Amino acid sequence: MRKVFPVLVAMALVLALGLSAYGATQTFTNSTNGSVTGIRVAFSASVRIASYDRAIFPTQSPSAEAREFTFSGGELQAGGRFKLSWADEEATIESYEWLEGSSSSLSSKDSMAFGIDYSRPELYLVQGDQTRISNPASLDWLRAKPRGLSQLKAVYAWLREFETYRAGGATIGKATVDELLASHRLSGCHDFALVFAAVARELGYPAVMVDTASIDWIGRFQRGEQGSHVGHVFVEVYLTDRWILVDSTSGAYVERGYDPANPVFRETQSGHSVGYYVMFKGIDTNAYGIYSNSELTQAMDALARNVNVSAIAYPAYQWKVFS
């Protein structure tokens, strides 16, 4: 039940916390003596997060209402500020706690990143509405392949036999795996990742789609340059004891040392490198709230406005290619 405040108390809260008729905003200052890697905030009532400084703590995408939220996976130096807005003008912040320690260790009790619980890979064996395969027997020939990377390689090689075409993003958030398998046509990286992830799950591998924005494009956007939105979609796959990262369009992958809590990485192939910033993760595009190309480009614009490109440090991943 929501708390009802007297008029004078409510007006005081407006002045103190930046409340409006539509919600509230508060800015937290890191008053510790060093850097922090997250913040835990408790509210007086359940709220829905309206916005937050994703560029600072990027590893959670809160969508449901709750009384407590943890934002983690980043770094905020002493004296730095973190801004948070929530959509419930009657709820106030009861307490908050700065978190310290490793921002990317999945061995900690908090193994969540981008809403994905990496400590429970079995959760990502379940298909979504977009990725449900109505005729799993059609993949029996793939099931007969040796388990592991060689089986994933077989999936990638099979997808390369599909007809490819340009659709200008028309299938993003709309196409289903059943439709793509029936047509034997793929229009871009979203289609490739959608089918690759679904087939991987059908073969027994937990899989998560990773939707990213090009960091070069983010820089151009921030400079006010015109041009098409540039991003790419990858797939995280769980193999026995670790998560790996796969570019299901090119066949490149990171087998060892991949950190799914890190929002940035650079894909390197044949001496060419491209940096990416993670926006969303989920079993399919609908699962992370994208139902059209226009929704995706709006999300990319929102992300680009908040990323500090100059502060990005890329992890040293070694990329291999299915050959």
Locate the domains of the chain by residue range.
7-103, 121-321
Residue 17 has what pLDDT? 35
Burial class (CB in 10 A: 0-12, 13-18, 19+), 171: buried
> Does the domain spanning 121-321 belong to CATH 3.10.620?
yes
Closest C-alpha among 11, 66, 71 to residue 39: 71
Residue 183 — pLDDT band, cuts 50, 70, 90? very high
Domain 7-103 adopts which CATH fold? Jelly Rolls (2.60.120)
Q: How crowded is residue 203: how many other Cβ atoms within 10 Å of its Cβ?
A: 20
Helix or strand or coil: residue 288?
Answer: helix
Task: Answer for the pair 187, 251: CB distance below 8 angstroms, yes or no.
Answer: no
Q: How confident is the model at residue 64 (pLDDT cuts 50, 70, 90)?
A: low
Report phi then psi at 124, rounded to 5. -105, 25
Distance (Å, whole) CA 198 – CA 181: 11
**Contact yes or no for 119/106 (Cβ under 8 A):** yes
Distance from chain centroid for Cα 116: 8
6 or 275: which carries more pLDDT confidence? 275
Taking the C-alpha atoms of residue 45 and residue 65, their distance in angstroms, rounded to an integer, is 9
Give residue-wise pLDDT tens across range 88-132.
768 888 888 887 754 444 444 347 889 999 989 999 999 999 999
DSSP-derived pairing of the beta strands 112-113 and 242-246: unpaired
In the chain, what is the straight-line distance between the N-terminal and C-terminal CA atoms, in Å? 59
Query: pLDDT-derived band of residue 14, with 50, 70 and 90 as boundaries?
Result: very low
% residues pLDDT > 90 (the chain): 61
Q: Does this model's pTM top 0.85?
A: no
Q: How far apart are CA 86 and CA 51, in angstroms?
A: 7
Residue 13 pLDDT level (bands cut at 50, 70, 90): very low
Contact in structure between 73 and 57 (CB atoms under 8 Å): yes
